[in-house]
Structure 1
């Protein structure tokens, strides 16, 4: 069996945690618990260059014992990278639009940052795309992200590259890792929080879930800071276990420390080796 660990929404800087100190404990934990692959699905730092430096340091710490890969969430994209850089093969550890074969198995891990197209928005067609985009520019952190194309176009690239990856690997067991929400079943809607009703449009895309459900064995994602039990949809299991924020003004944890939360939200997948 090959043991895979996956995590998302670690938010070191927002949580005021020294990731470069914490990675020593993380590395030891991964090695001691016999994980062979660790994939992080984004929102590590509010700066892509810091996230990249952190994962390079983590890979150096674990050496050849664990393969490290990561994606960029919207927070990683706020500083330190252009749109073209985010879409490029900027580093071997960066899994966006790449395939990672799981050694000695018939499985592959498909990585894609993902994005959103407003299709998960609570208000649906009550708001136009222009109104959602205007609200984002005025109130959402993503307004700082380099965006030479529309959200719809950016999401279409996700769907196009994902479809190609699924077709190219259809004879394999496929595990799909992304940052943004791909299914409506994971969404939390409210009647008394108008800002959140608008923000739900920026959580992900139902079209991605339509593409994945029934075709891949597992999907791991985050972005929306609500934890769910695994959801089985037509043979595809969706894992949504973001670490999130441990701030006085926004406390989303079940314990009092980052280290406990990382271990408790770590998703573990096992893949049988070929006989």
Structure 2
């Protein structure tokens, strides 16, 4: 079985009509024998738009490819509350779920994720309150409904992931774990001359999640996005980390390596080959 992942497609930010690419995406997925396709967040700046997109793409794909999705921070800024993110009932919504992959010994484990400032550079001398105030003043996440503190919200994520990995272990499976936010400091780039970005790194993810995943013997693969740079696969203690988000193709923020969405989509698609029983 072949499982594919995409993150950070940002259709609306990139001024793209998503349905224009349905046929080309379907053709590519079928030609490459992809059975499962997972969206790892930041599809639209509106959760309801992301859900409509998932429904429309799944209808177009038919039974050939099974689609799943998570919410990234951009999906969370509109059209959804925190309570709804935690309880949303949809067959393709992968948050806090374990989905066994038929005919294999593997399961998808998904969590939207969050952050706790543990990826901020050491020695920056900032408190949790400093990061929170900076977020509320300067970052898109200030629009996200969050009745919990960032630390409390991340604590809940960790409990969910721990429980889901325990389920995978009890089923004697291996986990393909997908989240939106960054789980390891290895992927962060710090810049002494960019204080704005160094503050933003506090909101990128959680090294505590990375520690939890690294300590789990059932984790085979970790897929994430959020950072808009692309990395080679990282092999760490037998686990594969994949991070090739698509990102922005805008004059003010050009992160693509071509001028064509489909080229970028193909080049950033992360594919794992899962042995069948």
TM-score (ref. length: structure 2):
0.96
Please give the alpha-carbon distance, in whole angstroms, between the structure 1 residues aligned to 2:230 and 2:248.
Answer: 12
Q: What is the alpha-carbon distance in structure 2 between the residues aligned to residue 117 and residue 175 of structure 1?
A: 23
Contact 2:5 2:38 in 1 (8 A): yes
Instruction: Tell me which residue corresponds to 1:259.
Output: 262
What is the distance in 2 between the residues matched to 1:223 and 1:92?
Answer: 24
Are the equivalent residues in 1 in contact too, given 2:98–2:168 (CA < 8 A)? no
1:213 maps to 214
Residue 125 of structure 1 deviates from its aligned partner by: 5.9
1:100–1:110 CA contact under 8 A, matched in 2? yes
Q: What pairs up with 1:98-137 in 2 under 5 angstroms?
A: 98-123=97-122, 126-137=125-136
Question: CA separation in 2, counterparts of 1:41 and 1:126?
Answer: 32
Partner of residue 245, structure 1: 248
Distance (whole Å) between structure 2 residues aligned to residue 222 and residue 28 of structure 1: 24
Report the CA distance between 1:32 and its aligned residue. 2.2
Structure 2 gap segments, 5+ residues each: none
Is 1:236 the equivalent of 2:239?
A: yes
Whole-angstrom distance in 2 between the partners of 1:50 and 1:12:
10
Find the residue that maps to 1:51 and give its secondary structure: helix
Structure 1 residue aligned with 2:72: 73
Contact 1:15 1:247 survives alignment (8 Å) = yes
Does the CA contact (< 8 Å) of 1:220 and 1:240 recur in 2?
yes
1 CA distance for matches of 2:69 and 2:123?
A: 32
What RMSD over aligned residues (CA atoms) do the two structures have, in Å? 1.0
SS of the residue 1:87 aligns to:
helix
1:15 is matched with which residue?
14
The CA deviation at 1:20 is 2.0
Distance in 2 (alpha carbons) for counterparts of 1:112 and 1:125: 29
Task: After TM superposition, give the deviation of residue 120 of structure 1 in Å.
Answer: 0.1
Aligned residue pair count: 273
| TM score, norm. by length of structure 1 | 0.97
Q: How does 1:80-229 map to 2 (within 5 A)?
A: 80-123=79-122, 126-170=125-169, 171-215=172-216, 216-229=219-232
